[in-house]
């Protein structure tokens, strides 16, 4: 997980003479003022000792020094995130959730920008003590979500684990729900280097779990360039997959700008890659992060019902396992002799699923679903077996 890092200019001079302790001294100076109580000062001292202990465990302290010193050059990256958000959404101050706040650098800038209340979702429990102290400095403006499921995106296993999904869902109980067609009810801001990020978001939207349960959220996230490129390419490439189709149909998305990868820790390790395309992708990931705006479309349920989106997701996943799967032979396995109907819709015996745009695949599903034989086809049984394995029977039976 990624965390923004920033240390204040007034302390830079002390770094040159006290390198072995500058991380602790600089951080604690941002929390100390004359109005703190004795207990709060004791808490700061404990935090200071906590950071010092963690630092002593590191084998390569010079790397830590390098992180901090070079981060000075990238202080403006924090403000860039704020500027990107203010340009596209200056007025919406609904439930604001910060992903991976780390040491609270971006948090402070959000408060300066006028955000009245920020909910902090930090999956690294070691950082919670530090964040708790920051919360005491800004009473009523910060709320740390204290839970084992406090990482907004880092629990991919909830896709298959019903108990964990329920605990995860409980994180959002206090949020005021809105109709799906209304304006967004939640803003999620932060950075994430998980390559499965969009897969997790897509799953939550299809099944309306987690942060998708109470309305439409909007995401302002710094992500790896390779993740963005995977979902924002033309259909002729080999990475035209099931998730790409769903993503294009269900989300509005926009690239807002780029940030230096050096502004986020931990820095990635350089790896050897044999393919030129992999080398280029790795180079981008090493040098940059993309700030993107991601928002579920307000009209998706005008296209299909919530249940039908689940069915459609299986339809796409099953038939896009191979892009070369031919449309007519594949659908005739479910509904015999349906080829005549498809030929009348300008499909040929050679038309492949990989030839179709996401919108065309959606229209094909609507046509398939409209046939009288659809409800009696084996497709329904196969779909229920597959979806049921992911603990979604209750949703389908509502």
pLDDT for the residue 34: 52
Is the pLDDT assigned to residue 384 strictly greater than 60? Answer: yes
Answer yes or no: are the C-beta atoms of 233 and 204 closer than 8 Å. Answer: no
Higher pLDDT among residues 363 and 86, named by residue = 363
pLDDT at 394: 40
pLDDT at position 162 over 70: no
pLDDT digits (tens, 9 = 90+) for 238-287: 678 899 999 999 999 998 888 887 777 666 776 665 565 555 666 777 78
| DSSP labels, 153-194 | S--GGGGT-HHHHHHHHHTTTTSPP--TTSS-SEEEEEE---
Most confident of 27-31, 132-136, 255-259, 264-268: 132-136
Name the strand (E) or helix (H) holding 342: helix 339-344
Among residues 356, 155, 384, the alpha carbon closest in space to that of 242 is found at: 356
Res 17: pLDDT: 31
pLDDT level of residue 5 (50, 70, 90 thresholds): very low
Q: How far apart are CA 7 and CA 287, in angstroms?
A: 21
223 vs 163, residue with greater confidence: 223
State pTM to two decimals. 0.75
Q: Residue 129: its pLDDT value, please?
A: 84
Asked if residue 301 has pLDDT above 90, the reply is yes
Strands 288-296 and 251-260: antiparallel
Domains for the chain: give ranges and CATH numbers: 75-270+277-301 (3.40.50.150), 306-389 (no CATH)
Q: Kindly indicate the confidence band of residue 385, based on its pLDDT and cuts at 50, 70 and 90.
A: confident
Tokens encoding 19: 């390198």
Q: For the chain, what's the residue count? A: 398
Q: Any idea which of 63-77, 190-204, 220-234 has the lowest mean pLDDT?
A: 63-77
Residue with tokens 């992060």: 289
- pLDDT score of 75 more than 80: no
Q: Residue 6: its pLDDT value, please?
A: 37
Residue 344 to residue 339: CA distance in whole angstroms = 9
pLDDT of residue 210: 80
Average pLDDT over residues 356-372: 96
Dihedral Cα 215, 219, 223, 226, nearest 10 deg: 60
As a whole number of angstroms, the distance between CA 323 and CA 319 comes to: 8
CA distances to 69, 142, 176, 178, 215 from 186, in Å: 35, 15, 9, 10, 8
């Amino acid at each position: 997980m990624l965390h923004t890092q920033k240390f204040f200019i007034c302390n830079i001079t002390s770094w040159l003479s006290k390198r072995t302790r500058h991380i602790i001294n600089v951080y604690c100076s941002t929390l100390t003022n004359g109005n703190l109580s004795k207990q709060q000062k004791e808490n700061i001292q404990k935090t200071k000792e906590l950071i010092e202990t963690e630092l002593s465990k590191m084998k390569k302290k010079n790397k830590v020094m390098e992180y901090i010193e070079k981060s000075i050059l990238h202080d403006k990256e924090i403000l860039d995130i704020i500027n990107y958000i203010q340009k596209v959404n200056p007025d919406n101050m609904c439930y604001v959730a910060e992903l991976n706040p780390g040491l609270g650098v971006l948090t402070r800038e959000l408060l300066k920008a006028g955000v009245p209340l920020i909910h902090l979702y930090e999956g690294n429990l070691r950082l919670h003590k530090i964040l708790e102290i920051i919360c005491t400095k800004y009473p009523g403006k910060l709320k740390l979500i204290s839970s084992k499921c406090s990482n907004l995106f880092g629990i991919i296993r909830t896709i298959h684990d019903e108990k964990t999904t329920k605990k995860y869902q409980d994180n959002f109980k206090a949020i005021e729900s809105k109709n799906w067609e209304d304006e967004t009810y939640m803003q999620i801001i932060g950075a994430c280097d998980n390559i499965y990020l969009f897969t997790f978001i897509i799953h939550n939207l299809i099944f309306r779990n987690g942060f998708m349960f109470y309305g439409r959220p909007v995401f302002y996230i710094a992500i790896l360039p390779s993740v963005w490129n995977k979902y924002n390419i033309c259909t002729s490439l080999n990475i035209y997959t099931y998730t790409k189709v769903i993503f294009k149909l269900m989300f509005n998305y926009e690239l807002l700008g780029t940030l230096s990868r050096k502004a986020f820790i931990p820095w990635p390790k350089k790896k050897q890659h044999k393919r030129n395309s992999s080398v280029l992708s790795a180079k981008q990931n090493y040098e940059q992060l993309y700030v993107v705006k991601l928002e579920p479309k307000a009209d998706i349920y005008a296209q299909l019902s919530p249940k039908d989106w689940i069915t459609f997701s299986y339809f796409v996943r099953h038939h896009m396992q191979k892009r070369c799967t031919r449309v007519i032979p594949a659908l005739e396995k479910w509904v015999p002799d349906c080829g005549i109907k498809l030929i009348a819709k300008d499909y040929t015996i050679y038309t492949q699923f990989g030839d179709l745009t996401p919108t065309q695949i959606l229209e094909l599903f609507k046509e398939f679903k409209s046939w009288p034989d659809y409800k009696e086809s084996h497709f329904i049984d196969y779909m229920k077996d597959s979806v049921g394995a992911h603990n979604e029977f209750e949703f389908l039976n509502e």
